[in-house]
Structure 1
Amino acid sequence: MRDERGWTYQDVVDIVAKPTRRSADRRKAWKWEHWGVEPDAESQVALAEAIGVPIREVHRLGWPGWLPDGGPVRTGFPWTKAGTLQSLDDTLEHAMPDRRGFMKLGGQALTVLAGQWLTRDPEPVTAALTGGRIDSQLVADLEDGLPRLRRMEAAFGGPWARHLLDAELDTVTGILKGASYTDRVGRRLLRLSAELARLAGWSSFDAGLHTAAQRYWTSGLRAAHSAGDHALGANIIKSISLQCYDHGLFADALRLAAAAVEGAGAVTPRTLGMLLLRQARAAAACGDRAECDRLLAAAETQMGRASTGDDDPAWTGYFDTAEFYAQAAACHADLGRPRLARDNYATALTLMPVAKRRDLATYTIQHARTHTALGDADHAVHLLETAIPIITAAPSQRNADRAAAARAELPLATKDPKVQRLDQLLATLAA
């Protein structure tokens, strides 16, 4: 962390000393770094504020887990094929070792990135002049692996899938850098790398590795741009919007979601409905009831127009009727409409395939929270107990955090046998 910022030991203790009125003895920082001495709570808070780490992450990750490492998330690459390959290389170097549980890029930097994506025109794809010739069949073989990777990521959760996705992305990036191919094949390879980066970003996000997610998504956005795939770029922006939502950056989430809808281009009704729902969720989080209701109605209209004969992108496969009801439920919950949220979650859970274990856990937990809000704590406990084995089968840090948050909302005494049993289950989940 010091090396990234060019700080001396004295710089560190000066930063800590100013708000805490402690002594500025450089030996303290040396001991933190070399002797394993842990700074006191006030010193950690002062240092976290100086480097832009949320205080909640200091408490959640502990010392020294909350300290940034792995270098900054670089976003200044050109919006060209060469810039895309540089961005992918940077991601492949830093994303897997990066274990940060917070976002390094703030909302403003992300909205600037989205604005650049909206306004830059993609250049023609030119191939390297060395290396073997890549034909359409080889690209098709690589593309054939995507459905399997999507199923694995959805079924087993992010921590397991991200290693496979990173390896696949490395392979495709290597081909883009070293092989020769036509413009058409090059765009397919870039589109494939963008989707692999999107999936790797999502799996990192699900595992609570938010900086790694940002690395994958920002490079994937460039790859989608270079491929000329506006819809895929919009889907990546949509994912970044959700990450901002999860971190309480609601205004940024709304700006990003709106940019996704604006930049998607001509898309199928199902795709547009999915993007509109993300915008609706951000509007709900901002407390804009009228805008949220308008967007929900627009999304429902698009879903009504969707047909099995539409040429939907493969990555929209998860977005079915169950997902629509679940996302609508989340909107109602954020707007303080627990009855509507409860009913929509119940419908979503009835329709959801059992194979979507992570989503089943997510919406079972959120369903439980609506029952708590409506005064039915006993049923909320039952739902949380149902969700915990599903999280165990499909590990997800986001779902583990949701379950803990839902438990904290229960208005029941700690000595209540139901609560004690639930706490035991949550303890095994944390372990």
Structure 2
Amino acid sequence: MRDERGWTYQDVVDIAARPTRRSADRRKAWKWEHWGVEPDAESQAALAAELGIPIREVHRIGWPGWLPDGNPVRTGFPWTRAGTLQSLDDTLEHAMLDRRGFMKLGGEALTVLAGQWLAEDPEPVAAALAGGRIDAQLVADLEDGLPRLRRLEARLGGPRARHLLAAELDTVTSVLKEASYTDPVGQRLLRLGAELARLAGWSSFDAGLHSAAQRYWTAGLRAAHTAGDRALGANILKSLSLQCCDHGLVAPALDLAATAVEGAGDVTPRTRAMLLLRQARAQAACGDKSGCDRSLSEAETQMARAATTDDDPAWLEYFDPAEFHAQTATCYADLRRPRLAEVHFTTALGLMPPAKGRDLATYTIQSARTHIALGDADHAVHLLERAVPMITAAPSQRNAARSAAARAELPFTAQDPKVQHLDQLLATLAV
């Protein structure tokens, strides 16, 4: 971390001592770095503030894991085919090794990136000139694997699926770099790479590896842009918006979601409903009740217009009526309107198929928290007990953390018989 920023030991202790005006002896930093001495809480807070790391991540991860490593998430690549390949290469080099549980890119950097995506015009995909020829049939064979990968990621959970997705993305990136193909084939390959990067980002996000998720998503955004697929780029921005919401960066979350809605282009009604719901989620997180209600109303109108004959993108398959109601319920829950939230959670859970185990776990936990807000803690315990085997079947760091947060809201002590079995179950989950 020091080398990356060109800091001396004195620089480090000066930053650590600045808020409290304590002595700044450079030997302190030497001990931190070489003797395994842990800085006190005030020093860590000062360093985290300088580095842009949220203090809750300092507390959650602990010293020295919260320190940024020497491989920042790079976003300065050109919005061209060459820049996209550089971005994919950089992501493949670092993402699988990046175990950071916090976001390296702050909200301002993500907002700038989204603005570039919106403003830049994609250039034609110049055909590669070297390597063996790739025809449309081979691309079709590669594309045929996507539905299976989506199902596996949803059923296995992010921690298990991310290695497989990274390997698939590596294969497609190698073809893009080393083979020859026509412009249309090149566009399809870039679109495929963008979707694989989106999935790999989601699996990393689900595993709690937020820096890795940012690497995949920023590279995927560039690939979708180069392929001329505005809807896919908007879907990736939607994911970045949700990540910002999870980290309390509500203003950037709303900027990203609004940019996705604005920049998606001419999309199907169901696609627009999905994007509007992400905007509503961000508005709810910001406490913008009227804005959230408007977005929900428009999303409902778009969903009513959706038809099975629409040419929806394949990645939209997950967004069915159950997901629509679940997202709507989450907005109401965030706005502290638990009765409305529970109506939609009940509908969502009734419609959701058993194969969507991770989503069932997510919204069962969310429903439990709504029941706590409604004063029905006994039923909340029952719902949380039901969610644990779902999380075990489809591991998810986010769902494990949600379960722990819901348990903390229950009005029972650890000695209360009503929650002793629940606590035993929750202890089996790794948060």
1:430 Cα offset (Å):
2.5
Alignment size in residue pairs: 431
Q: What residue identity is the alignment partner of 2:73?
A: V
1:85 Cα offset (Å):
0.7
Residue 18 of structure 2 aligns to a residue in which SS?
helix
1:420 Cα offset (Å):
2.4
Residue 272 of structure 2 aligns to a residue in which SS?
helix
- The question of whether the paired residues in 1 share the 8 Å contact of 2:128 and 2:182 is answered with no
- The question of whether the paired residues in 2 share the 8 Å contact of 1:173 and 1:193 is answered with yes
1:300 maps to 2:300: yes
1:70 Cα offset (Å):
4.3
1:83 Cα offset (Å):
0.7
1:30 Cα offset (Å):
2.0
Which string of whole-angstrom CA distances, capped at 9 and with x for unpartnered residues, describes residues 290-344 of structure 1? 2211211111111111111111101001000000000000111111110110111
Q: How does 1:19-418 map to 2 (within 5 A)?
A: 19-418=19-418
C-alpha distance in structure 2 between counterparts of 1:297 and 1:26, whole Å: 59
C-alpha distance in structure 2 between counterparts of 1:134 and 1:178, whole Å: 10
TM-score, with normalisation over the residues of structure 2? 0.98
- The question of whether the paired residues in 2 share the 8 Å contact of 1:70 and 1:97 is answered with no
- The question of whether the paired residues in 1 share the 8 Å contact of 2:4 and 2:70 is answered with no
C-alpha distance in structure 2 between counterparts of 1:33 and 1:422, whole Å: 42
Which string of whole-angstrom CA distances, capped at 9 and with x for unpartnered residues, describes residues 381-412 of structure 1? 11111111111111111111111111111112
- The question of whether the paired residues in 2 share the 8 Å contact of 1:127 and 1:179 is answered with no
1:196 Cα offset (Å):
0.5
Q: What residue identity is the alignment partner of 1:18?
A: R
C-alpha distance in structure 1 between counterparts of 2:252 and 2:176, whole Å: 33
1:127 Cα offset (Å):
2.5
Q: What residue identity is the alignment partner of 1:288?
A: D
C-alpha distance in structure 1 between counterparts of 2:404 and 2:159, whole Å: 19
Which string of whole-angstrom CA distances, capped at 9 and with x for unpartnered residues, describes residues 79-102 of structure 1? 111111111111111111111111
Which string of whole-angstrom CA distances, capped at 9 and with x for unpartnered residues, describes residues 405-430 of structure 1? 11111112332112222222222113
- The question of whether the paired residues in 2 share the 8 Å contact of 1:70 and 1:98 is answered with no
Give the % identical residues.
81
C-alpha distance in structure 1 between counterparts of 2:289 and 2:49, whole Å: 34
C-alpha distance in structure 2 between counterparts of 1:147 and 1:64, whole Å: 40
1:421 maps to 2:424: no
Q: What residue identity is the alignment partner of 2:106?
A: G
- The question of whether the paired residues in 1 share the 8 Å contact of 2:190 and 2:224 is answered with yes
Which string of whole-angstrom CA distances, capped at 9 and with x for unpartnered residues, describes residues 221-271 of structure 1? 010000000110010011111111111111211111111111111111111
**Backbone CA RMSD of aligned residues:** 1.2
1:17 Cα offset (Å):
2.2
TM-score, with normalisation over the residues of structure 1? 0.98
C-alpha distance in structure 2 between counterparts of 1:429 and 1:299, whole Å: 35
C-alpha distance in structure 2 between counterparts of 1:219 and 1:326, whole Å: 29
C-alpha distance in structure 1 between counterparts of 2:311 and 2:5, whole Å: 49
Which string of whole-angstrom CA distances, capped at 9 and with x for unpartnered residues, describes residues 2-29 of structure 1? 1111112222122112224443232222
Q: What residue identity is the alignment partner of 2:148?
A: R
Which string of whole-angstrom CA distances, capped at 9 and with x for unpartnered residues, describes residues 144-180 of structure 1? 1111110111011111111111111111111111111
Name the stretch that deviates more: 117-126 or 27-36.
Answer: 27-36
- The question of whether the paired residues in 2 share the 8 Å contact of 1:169 and 1:196 is answered with yes
Q: What residue identity is the alignment partner of 1:212?
A: A
Aligned equivalent of 2:12: 12
1:109 Cα offset (Å):
1.2
- The question of whether the paired residues in 1 share the 8 Å contact of 2:52 and 2:106 is answered with no
Residue 429 of structure 1 aligns to a residue in which SS?
coil
- The question of whether the paired residues in 1 share the 8 Å contact of 2:397 and 2:430 is answered with no
C-alpha distance in structure 1 between counterparts of 2:20 and 2:2, whole Å: 20
C-alpha distance in structure 2 between counterparts of 1:46 and 1:385, whole Å: 40
1:42 Cα offset (Å):
2.1
Stretches of structure 2 lacking an aligned partner (at least 5 in a row): none
